Amino acid sequence: MTLESNSTKQDTASGKYASGQYKVLLVDDSRDSVAVTKAFLSDPRIQVTVSGDGEQGLKAFKDSVFDLVLMDIEMPVLDGCAAALAIRRWEVDNALALTPITALTASCTTGELARIFASGCSSYLPKPVTKTILLQAVKQFLSVPPRSAA
C-alpha cells in the first residue's frame, strides 16, 4: 500500500498523511487469513497488531490506540459482532472518537449484514478478500493523520 506523501502535511492530491504510523488491529482466528491480510498490508507505515479472538481483540483495543480495526465475524470465545459492540460501548463510555471497524465475513446475507451494522461496524468486506479490495478499504479509512501523529 502506498500512502503517497512523505511530509507531515496532507498531500492534497491523495488525501493521505505520512507522519507517524497507522495502527491496524486485525482480529481473526484463522492463521491463514492473518498471514494473507498481513502480507497485503505490508507497508512500513502500517503496524498490524493481531488478536486471535474477539475477547483478545477487545483487550488489545482497550490497551492501545488504533486507526482501524479489521474484525473477523465468526470466531470462538467472543464473535466479531459482540466484540465490535463492546468496542463501541467502551469508546462511548470513555468519550473517545469512534474507530472505523471493518467486518470480514464469508456470510453476506441480508440478516448477517444487518447484524454486522447493528453491532457498530463501519463497513464490511466479503471473505476471501482480495488485495485490491482490502487496500481500497484501508485507504478509505486511513485518509486522516494517524492518531499517534495527532
* CATH number of residue 67's parent domain: 3.40.50.2300
Higher-confidence residue: 13 or 106?
A: 106
Q: Which of 1-5, 28-32, 130-134 has the lowest mean pLDDT?
A: 1-5
- Residue 96 within any structural domain of the chain: yes
pLDDT surpasses 60 at 18: no
- Residue 1 within any structural domain of the chain: no
- Residue 134 within any structural domain of the chain: yes
- Residue 149 within any structural domain of the chain: no
- Residue 17 within any structural domain of the chain: no
Domains contained in the chain, number: 1
Q: How confident is the model at residue 147 (pLDDT cuts 50, 70, 90)?
A: confident
Query: Mean pLDDT throughout 120-149?
Result: 87
- Residue 16 within any structural domain of the chain: no
**What confidence tens digit (pLDDT) does each residue in 75-117 have?**
999 999 999 999 999 999 999 999 999 999 988 888 999 999 9
The pLDDT value given to residue 97: 94
The pLDDT value given to residue 9: 31
Q: What are the grid coordinates assigned to 80, written together?
A: 466479531
- Residue 37 within any structural domain of the chain: yes
H-run or E-run covering 83? helix 80-93
- Residue 7 within any structural domain of the chain: no
Query: Mean pLDDT throughout 31-55?
Result: 95
Q: Containing domain of residue 78, as a range?
A: 22-144
Instruction: Report yes or no: 23 and 148 within 8 Å, Cβ to Cβ.
Output: yes
Alpha-carbon span 18 to 10, nearest angstrom: 8
Q: Which residues lie closer than 8 Å to 39 by C-beta, 6 or more apart?
A: none
